A and B are shown apart, each in its own frame.
Chain A
Amino acid sequence: MFSKLVKKSLSVLALSAGALTLTLAPAAAEFPEKPVTLVIPLGAGGSHDLNARIITSVIPTYLEQAMIVRLTPGAGGQKGTQEVANADADGYTLLFSHNYMDMLQQYVDNLPYDPMEDFIPIARVNYAPASIIVRADSPYETFEDLVEDARARPGELSIGHSGNWGAFFVPAAQIMQQLGLNMNLVPYQGGGPAMQALLSGDSDFTMAFPSAIGALRDAGDIRVLASAGEERLYEDVPTLAEVGVTGDIGYMHRFILAPAGTPDDVVATLSDAFESLSTDPTFVRLMGSLGESIDPMTGPEYQELREQQAVAYEALVDTLTSQ
């Protein structure tokens, strides 16, 4: 009877020791030893979703683990962002974000997290440059025509955009701020409806990304007046800088964030995987067929951009909300 008890206690001890080694194992084992979750704080079918589907179907080659997309939309992206901010800083929960959600929201809303303190960038994947477009039958032939008319009739021109404080609202507001213009910003529920409003004549101009412009421009339905980008996106269309709008305006950066406090070696493993990903032939082919560019940037490089964005967005929000 007694020996039975001893035997039992010994086996329990052995079991718990085994369990303990198992729990302790991750510290010693190489990251990643289980699938990594990529949280997208936006809805299904958006450009982040589509980009992420390609990333996660190729990155296992370099990460040696699966990467799983989890969509957590809500509260303008704050729900998903908060989820990652609260997650363990072990590299198994990452955030796929964009700059307006990341750096601008803090100035227009009370966030349940601090974007600068709670996150570190892992890598930028790419960016989408916005262009200013008008209908083909619009009286504006050039960006200067548009600016001139906007000056002559303050508050009368209407620009359709994809949502307040979003990817087209912010550059439009920044341009208005830089050039001292006053126009009527009309929100639409996404880039598609904004484009439709332009084509049906409800707005005077709008903004769009290359994937939405391509077919309509080739068909001669719309005209591009200016595009964001260091080099010309379309040969005969000036960049924003060429028409006198300067700074990091009109770029929607797509990048990966990790919770602050993620160990350096884990960050290094993840950064390396994303770096190798950006030259992977399958990745390049799939992104190309989706009409997306690949513009890799390391975490520290992107962090510099974030800091500049924070300053610029704060100034922008101050101007807009003080009116």
Chain B
Amino acid sequence: MIEQFAEGFGMAMRLDTMAMMCIGLFGGMLVGSLPGFTTLMAMAILLPISFFLEPIVGIPFLLGIYKGGIFGGSVPAILLSMPGTGAAVATSRDGYKLTQKGKSRKALDMALFSSVFGDTCSDIFTIMMIFPIAFLVMQFGPPELFAVLLMSLIIIAATSAANPLKSLIMMALGLWLSFIGTDPLGGAERFTFGLFDLKSGIPLLPMLIGLFALPEVASVVIRNDKARKLSALVGERLSLGEFRRCLKTICRSTVIGTMIGIVPGLGQIVAAMMGYSAAKNASDHPETFGEGEIEGVAAAEAANNAVNGPTMVPLLTLGIPGDNVTAILLGAFVAQGLRPGPQLFEEQGATVFAILVAMVIANLLFLVIGYLSVPFFSRLVTIKTSILIPMVIMFAFAGTYVYRSDPVDLLMLVAFGVFGIIAKAAKFDVMPLVMGFILGPSMEYAFGQTMAMSNGNALAFFATERIGALAVLIAAPIIGALLWRRLYGIPRTH
């Protein structure tokens, strides 16, 4: 195996591989930073290009798009409070506050460094531990997934706001919104009022842009400071000292993200929220989180990127794609004559290691590309408000429409925008709503599967062979209660 690794390392050191990775990274970053264009779409469209390239050039190219796209998503989240994906929601919370304080450059730098750090560590961990991870992945079935999702929701509700009742109300509302549409298991229509447009449920993108971006636009307009800029300054670059101060948080988030990457079906959104919650809990000044705390950006970005390494494991060791991104990569592998599966390492070990090494190199290349691009991106907020605000509104509507060309999505955008403005005025945090909405369907599906497996016996969660699920189910409320008490329950003395 060491020999294969050495051979693979040599194979990855090619100029054309690097060049194509750079193109992929840069293109992915651009696409990811435009709301409405998803990294997944970019990968699907550019997939045929990889068919005509050598495996060690074509697959790193796709990986580049993927990695660039994830960071790209955090750019509008930080600068305009416009998260294009669920994974960027946690980042936008402190990132946008930093932009308002004139520290957009610092926030983007921190997002870049912590992303690259989290990604690189999890990739290296994945390369070393690929077979133990493959074993762990198999231990998670629907009951365990349900338990972990329930725990995630409890932690989010407990840590997101000082008033847990408000959090729970918003989360319940989010869960209810996720019920609208077609029941994922039985196929029955729920709360659709017979409208065809509601049959496929509420789309995520208009909800995210509506809830997060439009209220910010409204508050700038209401303040009516036409001549001023959203922020006159882009601020200084991130200093080494600040990075060092956040290093503990970044490492913690990397570990959390990697662990969540191992659980099939959780992904970046949960990782970002858990990393953020953990950082807030561990901090001696949790009240600064949500008010422009650079550690918050670091925590979310390191965690959502650390998911990437382990999600490749089921694909490489079993040939099973866990999500859409890995499904596209599976297509790329197969088209190259590499059949992911148990024998891939025996037959093509060197090539696989070369691709894994290329993943690590892609991170380093991205550090350079990102570092050079951040100054250009961060200048965006120094545009005069009278020009920037119409631009943001245009991006919000165009981005929502371009996603699937459905005019109904625009109505949703406006509706969620109005809701977001009201919630903001009433001091209700919309984060638990979004998380309930995103995680609700997965949790419901896992619950339904468990019921189907046991012929409708609700005690299936407590079966002895499902001891893991049982442990999490019992621990979840206790952890939630403790977290809330620690963060908000005991008055602090400063």
Binding site for B on A (CB under 8 A): 43-46, 49-50, 53-54, 57, 69-76, 78-79, 82, 108-109, 112, 155, 158, 164-165, 184-189, 192-193, 195-197, 199-200, 202-203, 211-212, 214-216, 218-219, 221, 286, 289-291
Evaluate contact between A188 and B449: CB separation under 8 angstroms: yes
Q: Which 3 A-B pairs have the closest CB atoms?
A: A215-B341, A74-B200, A219-B342
Q: How far is the CA of A299 from the CA of B481 in the complex (A)?
A: 63
Q: Is B432 an interface residue (CB 8 A)?
A: no
Q: Select B334's contact among A78, A112, A211, beta carbons within 8 Å.
A: A211
Contact (A54, B44) CB under 8 Å given A108-B187, A212-B319:
no
Q: How far is the CA of A192 from the CA of B38 in the complex (A)?
A: 22
Q: Select B200's contact among A75, A218, A286, A291, beta carbons within 8 Å.
A: A75
Chain B neighbourhood of A165, CB < 8 A: 187
Q: How far is the CA of A286 from the CA of B334 in the complex (A)?
A: 10
Q: Is B265 an interface residue (CB 8 A)?
A: yes
Evaluate contact between B44 and A45: CB separation under 8 angstroms: yes
Evaluate contact between B453 and A79: CB separation under 8 angstroms: no
Q: Select A291's contact among B334, B404, B452, beta carbons within 8 Å.
A: B334
Ordered by A's residue number, 30 sampled pairs between the chains whose C-beta atoms are within 8 Å are: A44-B43, A44-B324, A45-B40, A45-B325, A45-B327, A50-B328, A54-B48, A69-B44, A69-B45, A74-B200, A75-B181, A75-B199, A75-B200, A79-B200, A108-B187, A155-B455, A187-B445, A187-B452, A193-B264, A193-B322, A195-B318, A196-B137, A197-B141, A199-B318, A202-B142, A202-B453, A214-B319, A215-B341, A216-B341, A291-B334
Provide the B32-73 mask, 1 if CB < 8 A to any CB of A, else 0: 000000101101110110010000000000000000000000
Evaluate contact between B321 and A75: CB separation under 8 angstroms: no
Evaluate contact between B138 and A164: CB separation under 8 angstroms: no
Q: How far is the CA of A44 from the CA of B45 in the complex (A)?
A: 9
Evaluate contact between B138 and A45: CB separation under 8 angstroms: no
Chain B neighbourhood of A49, CB < 8 A: 44
> In this complex, what residue of A is CB-closest to B322?
A192
Provide the B450-466 mask, 1 if CB < 8 A to any CB of A, else 0: 00110100000000000
> In this complex, what residue of A is CB-closest to B47?
A53
Q: How far is the CA of A67 from the CA of B41 in the complex (A)?
A: 16
Chain B neighbourhood of A290, CB < 8 A: 331, 334-335
List B residues 323-365 near A (Cβ within 8 Å).
324-325, 327-328, 331, 334-337, 339-344
Chain A neighbourhood of B491, CB < 8 A: none
Q: How far is the CA of A46 from the CA of B330 in the complex (A)?
A: 10
> In this complex, what residue of A is CB-closest to B196?
A112
Q: How far is the CA of A193 from the CA of B315 in the complex (A)?
A: 11
Chain B neighbourhood of A54, CB < 8 A: 48, 51
Q: How far is the CB of B111 from chain A (nearest CB, A)?
A: 25
> In this complex, what residue of B is CB-closest to A290?
B335
Evaluate contact between A196 and B314: CB separation under 8 angstroms: yes
Evaluate contact between A53 and B48: CB separation under 8 angstroms: yes
Q: How far is the CA of A193 from the CA of B138 in the complex (A)?
A: 10
Q: How far is the CB of B87 from chain A (nearest CB, A)?
A: 16
Q: How far is the CA of A230 from the CA of B328 in the complex (A)?
A: 30
Q: How far is the CB of A322 from chain B (nearest CB, A)?
A: 16
Q: Select B328's contact among A45, A70, A184, A203, beta carbons within 8 Å.
A: A45
Q: How far is the CA of A195 from the CA of B137 in the complex (A)?
A: 13
List B residues 136-193 near A (Cβ within 8 Å).
137-139, 141-142, 181-182, 185-187
Q: Is B320 an interface residue (CB 8 A)?
A: yes
Chain A neighbourhood of B186, CB < 8 A: 164
Evaluate contact between A199 and B199: CB separation under 8 angstroms: no
Q: How far is the CA of A196 from the CA of B331 in the complex (A)?
A: 18
Chain A neighbourhood of B339, CB < 8 A: 214-215
Contact (A164, B319) CB under 8 Å given A45-B328, A50-B47:
no
Q: Is B235 an interface residue (CB 8 A)?
A: no
Q: How far is the CB of A49 from chain B (nearest CB, A)?
A: 6
Chain A neighbourhood of B331, CB < 8 A: 45, 50, 290
Q: How far is the CA of A108 from the CA of B186 in the complex (A)?
A: 11
Inter-chain pairs besides A45-B44, A218-B343, A289-B336, 16 sampled, C-beta below 8 Å: A44-B44, A44-B324, A45-B40, A46-B327, A72-B404, A72-B405, A73-B200, A74-B201, A164-B187, A186-B452, A192-B320, A193-B322, A196-B137, A200-B139, A203-B453, A218-B341
